[in-house]
């Protein structure tokens, strides 16, 4: 268990606060000794496992079937789609070549691994749609400074790959992917996002277009969370993924892919909800939803712990995750402090007085309030957990409110970014002709054109905020990791 509290405040030094929370709450350990790779400790792993279960349930509900593909990808597969190899080659970990075998890569993403199999599995329109996902780790040779869970060389993620008979069906899948992000990451994990249709120069290699989910961090920087890509027929043509329609005519399938990086989403969960006392974990993914702390003496410990074990068993029958802290070497106050640091939503304090009155003292982590709860109604904590998560969601949405500022010139943009906000501007184009203005934004402000809002169409008025030419789109600018 962690021994020391946080020495910095989140609002004053977010970067150091974040590192201390990961360390002191025992989420990760950075001492593995290899750049970009961290150990995820049990507390972080248990949260990730719950996140995976919720996300996979949402995918399966929408028709995606689980699968597992090899971690290695033949070099020849990468070379089949020109823009894909150009996009990912610098980030690939290559394995030492074995004698008599071709060059192999650790997967940075799995399109070129999975689609060679699609060409074997898909023959007829009856085989469509094909919707498969896998839980996997991916590896990217990140050369910039790495940060645990945020920017790494190893990501824990899910990727869903779908094939359809028509472009219209594929585009419906892209919209469904955004809905999945809304249902799970926003509504369950309490992390609001902006679905951004990326500029053409920033789309996924081999895609017709990309929509990324941008999340605002406490330091005003954006982090890309789940992205979805309309791949069109780019990969199906190079991997020969074809089907015969109802008239017997051969056609290439239309494809999409969707990739939630669960480890990176965990970074946003920690950053969004945590406070100056440590983690504040959503009830639905908290490694322990309830901790029971008996307040005992040597004389009454056996009796009190026995009663606590009964309460724990009762709660676990409600499918709640419960810890019983009956350590003798720690005083109750020390235990309270530690479990608050680890972000446990509810703490039950039980002493002789509580047992006699059949009323337990309940501490709520997000509000830091103490109340009494009847021993007979202790199973109501499941319902209180739902209310707990709604409060976290409302607080996160409030954080996002007002973060977008309309800017009409460079001075407006500069001010918005200094205020740790997102600048919404009229822009010349998100096609190739807009690259020069995007480069000026990066040079002058250290920011990026994140794209256009993918959830609705916004019409520009007037000229581009950078070059003054007639604006074709409304884009969002922000700093990112």
Residues in the chain: 481
- Please give the sequence-ordered ranges of beta strands (E in DSSP) within 233-368, or none if there are none: 242-244, 250-252, 254-259, 290-294, 322-324, 346-350, 359-364
pLDDT tens-digit series, residues 27-46: 999 999 999 999 999 999 99
* Domain annotation covers residue 28: yes
* Domain annotation covers residue 126: yes
What are 63's two structure tokens?
A: 């028709």
Domain shared by 98 and 241, yes or no: yes
> Considering the chain, what is the average pLDDT of its residues?
95
Tally of domains within the chain: 3
Domain shared by 56 and 91, yes or no: yes
Asked whether the beta carbons of 87 and 206 are under 8 A apart, the reply is: yes
* Domain annotation covers residue 4: no
Which residues on adjacent β-strands are paired with residue 215? 223
pLDDT tens-digit series, residues 275-306: 999 999 999 999 999 999 999 988 888 999 99
What are 8's two structure tokens?
A: 């910095």
C-alpha closest to that of 137 among 187, 68, 60, 196: 68
Q: Does 317 or 145 have the greater pLDDT score? A: 317
- Residue 31 phi/psi, 5-degree rounding, is -90, 20
Provide the 3-class DSSP secondary structure of residue 65: strand
C-alpha closest to that of 109 among 159, 75, 152: 159
Asked whether the beta carbons of 253 and 111 are under 8 A apart, the reply is: no
**Residue 2 confidence (pLDDT):** 44
* Domain annotation covers residue 399: no
Query: For residues 296, 298, 302 and 306, what is the CA-based torsion angle, rounded to 10 degrees?
Result: 10
Highest-confidence segment of 75-79, 327-331, 368-372: 368-372
Identify the band that residue 97 occupies on the pLDDT scale cut at 50, 70 and 90.
confident
Domain shared by 257 and 345, yes or no: no
Domain shared by 148 and 27, yes or no: yes
Domain shared by 165 and 312, yes or no: no
Domain shared by 239 and 306, yes or no: no
Domain shared by 322 and 427, yes or no: no
- Residue 328 phi/psi, 5-degree rounding, is -85, -25
CATH number for the domain spanning 444: value is 3.30.110.30
Look up the pTM and report it.
Answer: 0.95
Strand 28-29 relative to strand 39-40: parallel, antiparallel, unpaired? antiparallel
Provide the 3-class DSSP secondary structure of residue 413: helix
Q: Which of 95-109, 196-210, 367-381 has the lowest mean pLDDT?
A: 95-109
How far apart, in whole angstroms, are the C-alpha atoms of residue 388 and residue 193?
20
Residues of the chain above pLDDT 70, percent? 99
Helix locations, 224-317, DSSP H? 234-238, 262-273, 301-316
**Residue 136 confidence (pLDDT):** 95
Question: 325, 355, 384 — which closes off a domain?
Answer: 384
* Domain annotation covers residue 144: yes
Question: 332, 352, 384 — which closes off a domain?
Answer: 384
* Domain annotation covers residue 173: yes
Identify the band that residue 373 occupies on the pLDDT scale cut at 50, 70 and 90.
very high
Query: Does position 220 have pLDDT exceeding 50, yes or no?
Result: yes
* Domain annotation covers residue 282: no
Identify the band that residue 89 occupies on the pLDDT scale cut at 50, 70 and 90.
confident
Q: What is the mean pLDDT of residues 83-108?
A: 84
Q: What is the mean pLDDT of residues 162-169?
A: 98
**Residue 98 confidence (pLDDT):** 74
Q: Which of 88-92, 138-142, 159-163, 169-173 has the lowest mean pLDDT?
A: 88-92
**Residue 210 confidence (pLDDT):** 97
Q: What is the mean pLDDT of residues 303-330?
A: 95
Domain shared by 36 and 144, yes or no: yes
Identify the band that residue 1 occupies on the pLDDT scale cut at 50, 70 and 90.
very low
Q: What is the mean pLDDT of residues 1-21?
A: 87
What's the Cα-to-Cα distance from 113 to each of 100, 103, 108, rounded to whole Å? Answer: 21, 14, 10
Residue whose pair of structure tokens reads 């995918």 in the numeric block: 59
Query: Does position 3 have pLDDT exceeding 70, yes or no?
Result: no
C-alpha closest to that of 442 among 401, 396, 478: 478
Domain shared by 122 and 68, yes or no: yes
Provide the 3-class DSSP secondary structure of residue 428: coil
Q: What is the mean pLDDT of residues 60-71?
A: 97
pLDDT tens-digit series, residues 383-442: 999 999 999 999 999 999 999 999 999 999 999 999 999 999 999 999 999 999 999 999
Q: Which of 2-16, 215-229, 309-323, 335-349 has the lowest mean pLDDT?
A: 2-16
Q: Which of 55-69, 99-113, 210-224, 456-470 has the lowest mean pLDDT?
A: 99-113
Give residue 312's domain range. Answer: 290-384
CATH number for the domain spanning 373: value is 3.40.50.800
Domain shared by 86 and 222, yes or no: yes
How far apart, in whole angstroms, are the C-alpha atoms of residue 478 and residue 169?
32
Domain shared by 263 and 338, yes or no: no
Burial (0-12, 13-18, 19+ Cβ within 10 Å), 146:
middle
User: What distance lies between CA 254 and its chain's CA centroid?
Assistant: 26
CATH number for the domain spanning 40: value is 3.30.930.10
- Please give the sequence-ordered ranges of beta strands (E in DSSP) within 128-284, or none if there are none: 130-139, 154-164, 194-197, 209-216, 222-232, 242-244, 250-252, 254-259
* Domain annotation covers residue 68: yes
Question: 246, 273, 300 — which closes off a domain?
Answer: 273
**Residue 132 confidence (pLDDT):** 98
Domain shared by 250 and 317, yes or no: no
């Amino acid at each position: 268990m962690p021994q020391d509290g946080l020495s910095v405040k989140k609002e004053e030094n977010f970067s150091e606060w974040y590192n201390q929370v990961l360390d002191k709450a025992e989420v990760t350990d950075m001492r593995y000794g290899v750049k970009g790779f961290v150990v995820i400790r049990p507390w972080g792993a248990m949260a990730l496992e719950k996140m995976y279960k919720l996300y996979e349930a949402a995918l399966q509900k929408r028709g995606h079937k689980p699968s597992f593909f090899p971690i290695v990808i033949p070099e020849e597969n990468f070379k089949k789609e020109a823009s894909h190899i150009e996009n990912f080659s610098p980030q690939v970990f290559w394995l030492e070549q074995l004698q008599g075998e071709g060059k192999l890569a650790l997967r940075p993403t799995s399109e070129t691994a999975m689609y060679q199999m699609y060409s074997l599995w898909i023959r007829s329109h009856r085989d469509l749609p094909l919707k498969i996902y896998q839980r996997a780790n991916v590896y990217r040779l990140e050369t910039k400074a790495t940060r645990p869970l945020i920017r790494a060389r190893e990501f824990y993620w899910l990727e869903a790959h779908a094939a359809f008979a028509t472009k219209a069906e594929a585009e419906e899948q892209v919209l469904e992917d955004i809905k999945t992000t809304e249902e799970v990451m926003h509504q369950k994990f309490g992390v609001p996002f902006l679905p951004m249709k990326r500029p053409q120069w920033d789309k996924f290699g081999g895609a017709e277009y990309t929509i990324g989910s941008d999340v605002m961090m406490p330091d005003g920087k954006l982090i890309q969370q789940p992205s979805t890509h309309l791949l069109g027929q780019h990969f199906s043509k190079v991997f020969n993924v074809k089907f015969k329609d109802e008239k017997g005519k051969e056609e290439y399938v239309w494809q999409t892919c969707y990739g939630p990086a669960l480890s990176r989403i965990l970074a946003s969960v920690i950053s969004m909800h945590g406070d100056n006392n440590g983690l504040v974990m959503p009830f639905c993914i908290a490694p322990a939803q309830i901790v029971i702390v008996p307040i005992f003496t040597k004389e009454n410990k056996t009796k009190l712990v026995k009663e606590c074990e009964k309460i724990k068993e009762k709660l676990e029958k409600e499918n709640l995750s419960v810890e019983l802290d009956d350590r003798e070497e720690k005083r109750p106050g020390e235990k309270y402090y530690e479990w608050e640091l680890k972000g446990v939503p509810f703490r039950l304090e039980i002493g002789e007085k509580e047992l006699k009155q059949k009323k337990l003292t309940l501490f709520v982590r997000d509000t830091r309030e103490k109340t009494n709860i009847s021993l007979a109604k202790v199973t109501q904590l499941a319902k209180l957990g739902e209310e707990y998560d709604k409060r976290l969601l409302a607080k996160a949405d409030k954080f996002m409110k007002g973060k977008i500022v309309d800017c009409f010139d460079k001075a407006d943009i500069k001010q918005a970014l200094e205020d740790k906000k997102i600048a919404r501007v009229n822009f010349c184009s998100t096609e190739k002709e807009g690259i020069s203005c995007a480069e000026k934004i990066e040079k002058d402000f250290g920011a990026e054109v994140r794209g256009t809002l993918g959830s609705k169409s916004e019409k520009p008025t007037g000229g581009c905020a950078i070059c003054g030419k007639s604006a074709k789109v409304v884009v969002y600018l922000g700093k990112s990791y």
